Structures are given as C-alpha cells and as structure tokens.
Chains A and B, each alone.
Chain A
Amino acid sequence: MSTFLDARALPADTVLEPDLAIIGGGPAGITLALSLAGAKLKVLLLESGGTSFDPRVQHLYAGEESGYVALDVGRLRTLGGGTNHWGGWCRPMDEIDFEAKPWLPYSGWPFTRKVLEPYYPRSQQLVEAGPWIYDQKGAAENAAKGSVLPLGQGGLYTSWFQFSKMRGDVLPTQFGKRYEADLKRAPNVTPLMQANITAIRLSPDARQVERLEGTTLDGNGGAGKRFTVKPRFVVLAAGGMENARLLLASNDVMKTGVGNQNDLVGRFFADNPVPRDVATLVSFAGPLAPFYGSTQTLDDGAIMRATFAPTAAFCRQNQVLGSLSTVEQPVDLDETGKAAVITTALALGVDASNAKAYSLGCGIELAPDPDRRLVLTGDKDALGLPRLKLNMRIADDDFTRYRRTLMELGRQLLASHTGMLRIEKKNRGDWLKEWGHHHLGTTRMHADPKQGVVDADGLVHGIANLYVAGSSVFPSYSASNPTLNLVALTLRLGDHLKKAMT
C-alpha cells in the first residue's frame, strides 16, 4: 500500500508525466481514479487540499457574489470535496430530466437516462446508499412503517430518497476518508495532495493540453513550490465553480479561456433552491406515516424518506420543472386555517376531527439561464489565480412553476379526500434564503460546440485531450441531488477513457 504524496515535498520544478491527470479530489475525481484503478494507465490525482481542512487552502475559493451565499461556503477544498459536508440525499434523475423541452430554452441532455442506467448500481455502491429501492419498491419496502398518502389521479406522486450510510452521528460517506485506503491500494493511481493547478497550458494551435502548471501554498500562505504536469489526457474535476475558473483563467493561447470560444464557460450556473416552510399540508386522517417526515432505516440497511414529486406527464402538460417537496414538521393552524379545514372537510363530507398539519420544504429545479454566470474579477488569490464573481439571478417563472406544482398537490389532496394544502411563500425574497449548494451547469454538455463546452463524452469541444467531470457538465439540472448522478456520469467517463486512452 502506497501513501499519498505531498506536493510540498517534491523537488523544485518537478515534472510529472502521467497518462492521465485528474484535477480535483472530490467525488468526481475520486470516482474516476477508482474506476481506473488497475487499468494500464498511470493516473495522477491532484488535490489542492490535504486529508483535513485547512482554512488557508479554503480561502482560495473566496470570491464575489450577488444574491447568493459566499463562494467559499458550500464547498470544501479538501480530499473528498463536498462529500465532507453533504447530507447524503440520493435520488436518480428522472427520464424527463434528460429531455429537451420545446417550451424551455437550453434544456435537454445529449443522451437519455438509459445511457446512465448501467452506471447507477456502482454509483449506488460508492455513495453507500444500500440496495436500489427508490420509486420501484419504495412503497412496498416501507409498508410495515405505514401507508403512502393516497393521492389518486393527478400530477404528483410519492417518490423516494435514499441516503448515504450513516455512522452513528458521523456524516454520510465522505469520499476522501472512505476511499483513502482504496486509492492507496491502486498501484497505478498516485494521489498528490497540496497540489494546486493554476493554469492549463495549450499547444500553440489550441488543439490539446500540453501541460498543467502547479503550485503549493507556502507556510506564509503565498505561492510555494512550483511543479509541472505533462499528461497525455486531463480530466478537470474541481467542482462547478473551479472548473469554470480554471478554464477562464487559462487564457494565454485562447484569449477568452480554454474551451470558451463560444463564450459559454461559466454561464448557466445553477443550484437548487431549498426553501423551508413553502407550504402547510393537512392530513385529514391524522398523522402521516413516519417516512414522510424523517428518514427510516429498513431491515436491509437502506435509509429512506418519502417526498412528493411531479409526474413526467404533469411536467410536460403544465410546463413545470422538477421539484421534490418533503414533509418537515408538525405545525399548528391559525384561526383561518382551522376554518378552512372545517369548512372544506364538511363540504367534502370528510371527517377531519383528527386532522394534523405539517410544514413542507422543497428542492426546486431552475431553468437554464445563460446570464446566471461566473466571471473572473481583477482580484487574485494567494496563488495568482483570478477570483470569481457570480452574477446570480432567478427568474420569476422558476417560482411560478413550482407554485403550479403546489396548486396541483393541493387539488389532488382534496380530490382524493386525504387533505389540503396552504402555500406559504408570498414574496420573491421568501424563496431565496436557502440553497442546496449544488453547483451545476458552468461547463455544460451539448453535442453542438455553440451550445455546450463539452460533448456527450465530457470532452471539451476542440481540445483533443481535455475532459470535464462533475455536475458542471449538467446542461439541465433536475431537482434530484446531484452526487449519485454525477458519480454515475463519472463512471461512464471512466469507461470512455479506458477505451480512448488505450
């Protein structure tokens, strides 16, 4: 078993020549390295941080934003990346998430969900979310704990999350810690810690990557030891913000930045807003089954929680995007609420004497927007790399669409005589307080170079040996949490590289 190398211990001006350099040791980078373990390729995994948090390294993420959270919040520059603080929520993207929707500009993936399906089982293993249950068997597997809310015919149904394995009060699977030993065991994989890549240098004809420039942080927080990587192939897997930053900042040959010949790098940034208390759901019959309000552990170890999702037919017919509404906690009704419940239940001929009310939270999919954008600023970090500015904006349509979904849930609850719904959020500002910290879309995937930074394989258009991995390639976003899906997509890239590189 090898140990991790530390770039600070390399001799000055070291030149490393792996077959493949992976920039970033988060879930995508680690997944790719693991998928290539044992292949006849020398793989160098470059991680900016170490195995534990270092605020000086984390500060390299700092930037400017408008209408969002600070850019060094919500991501972690440590081996394992965002999985060091994720909540473990897993749900595969739906078929409709991949569809180009005629009513939604820029939507659609260059392939269907079927292309990813072979990779979900392994992805499920890597995130340690137990056996594959989700919507196929969620209701049946949880039947002993209660019944799903009968919603009858309509636009929403009870869907299911699964969760990455918990270890007592320890957070779910942290890729850096969980797969440290596996990375060390892989004879062809060399993880290099404290290795910051500050530039991607192209050949003069801008057709391929010639080398990567790397730097360590010295003891004073400035640029330390410099090194060079000359790989045959490169995969950029540094996260939804840093992928764009490094491409934009590497602008010596391509003046607008690597892969940015069509001014797309950094555009289409997205996240999932996750506002709480979006609605109050009343169950006429009394308490909901426990799997709605909290995670439930099944005998086979699977951890599950129910959520309300719109059907594909409802999304198409009503031009709404994905959303996942979860039951949060019991709440008391005010006088108007009590009057609404009594009057409506009596009108329906339903007994609501044991009615119970709950608040709902949600995760919402945003529409792709080219002007929701990351750009470089004149300010530079300790290693000389320009910092980012995020121009965040959300269209009113994004909230209008989700309100349509809530209206349908309210109608459906009444039509099935099971309950009713109150929509709580009134003002635009109410919706924009909490985020999923899912950084999506900044190097979007599209077969047409004028519409995407990378092609369907993740290869940067026009560059023969540079790929991008992770959720930055998602061209449209889904309401499902990205980790399970980006891991599956990265496993597919691993298969592609095995063929492309040998």
Chain B
Amino acid sequence: MRRRDVAAAVVAAGAAATAGLYRFTDLFVKHYAPTPYDDLLARLTDREEAAKLGAKVPGPFDLTTQTARLRAGFKGRDLATAVNADLAAGHMVEVAGWVLPETVVLLSALAAKV
C-alpha cells in the first residue's frame, strides 16, 4: 500500500470517528431524544442554558397549550422576529426577577420540561 493511501485511510478513519463522536456522544454537542416539539426547541441556540432559565419559570406548564401558543406566535417567523414582536407589544414575563420576552420564557420552560 502506498504511503498516500495509508494517510488517506487514517484521515478517513479520523473523520468517521469524529463524526461518530459528534453524532452519538455529547462530547462536542449535547444530544437530546427526539420530542414532538423539536421544531420549537431547534430555535434555541443553547438549549442547556435555556433549560436552566426555564427551570425557574413559576407555575404549571401545560405542554399542549403552551406549545400551541408558541407555534401560533411564530407564524413562520424566526425567533428574533418573534421576540422583537413581544417587545414591541409589551408581552413581558418576570422570571426570577428577570424581565423577559414571553417567547423566550415559553421556549425556556419547554426546554426545562422535556
């Protein structure tokens, strides 16, 4: 076997191992079990931090009602647009004293719940 082929094989094996670690472990990125709400949760860049915040949201969180509310709120818009709409409309919620847009609070509560 030529030296170039060996090198290529090593690189390919390394790439495959890295892809495997990325896909099947939490070494590079946290993996979550699939949920019916992944279309919503995918909007969170850092789901772990959101879950920490969401754990402080007071009161019961009814998944069916609140996820329906979130989906209706997005209406095809991205997260930043939905959040800015909350801010313009004054849809604010206080969580552990923090004054937050309602969409951020609902998404964070969802992240903490599932």
Which A residues contact B (CB, under 8 angstroms)?
A: 279-280, 335-340, 342-344, 346-349, 406-407, 409-411, 414-415, 420-424, 426
Contacts and interface: CB of A to CB of B under 8 A. Distances in A.
A347 B83 contact: yes
- Grouping DSSP codes into helix (H, G, I), strand (E, B) and loop, the A interface class, with mixed when no group exceeds half, is helix
A342 B46 contact: yes
Contact of A347 (B52, B79, B92, B94): B79
Contacts of A424: 97
B50 A339 contact: yes
Q: Which of B56, B95, B100 has the most CB of A within 10 A?
A: B100
Given A407-B92, A410-B92, A423-B97, 19 more contacts: A279-B97, A336-B96, A339-B52, A340-B96, A342-B46, A343-B44, A343-B53, A344-B83, A347-B83, A348-B80, A407-B94, A407-B99, A411-B90, A411-B92, A415-B84, A415-B87, A421-B99, A422-B99, A423-B99
Contacts of B83: 344, 347-348, 414
A115 B94 CA distance: 42
A126 to B, nearest CB: 41
Contacts of A344: 83, 100-101, 104
B46 A420 contact: no
Contacts of A414: 83, 87, 99-101
Nearest to B47: A343
A342 B49 contact: yes
Contacts of A410: 92, 98-99
Interface in B94-114: 94-101, 103-104, 107-108
A324 B48 CA distance: 37
B88 interface: yes
A422 B80 contact: no
B107 to A, nearest CB: 8
Contacts of A422: 96-99
B56 A406 contact: no
Contact of B98 (A346, A415, A420): A420
B43 to A, nearest CB: 8
B42 to A, nearest CB: 13
Contact of A340 (B79, B87, B95, B103): B95
A151 to B, nearest CB: 12
B45 interface: yes
A348 B99 CA distance: 14
A346 B45 contact: yes
B55 to A, nearest CB: 8
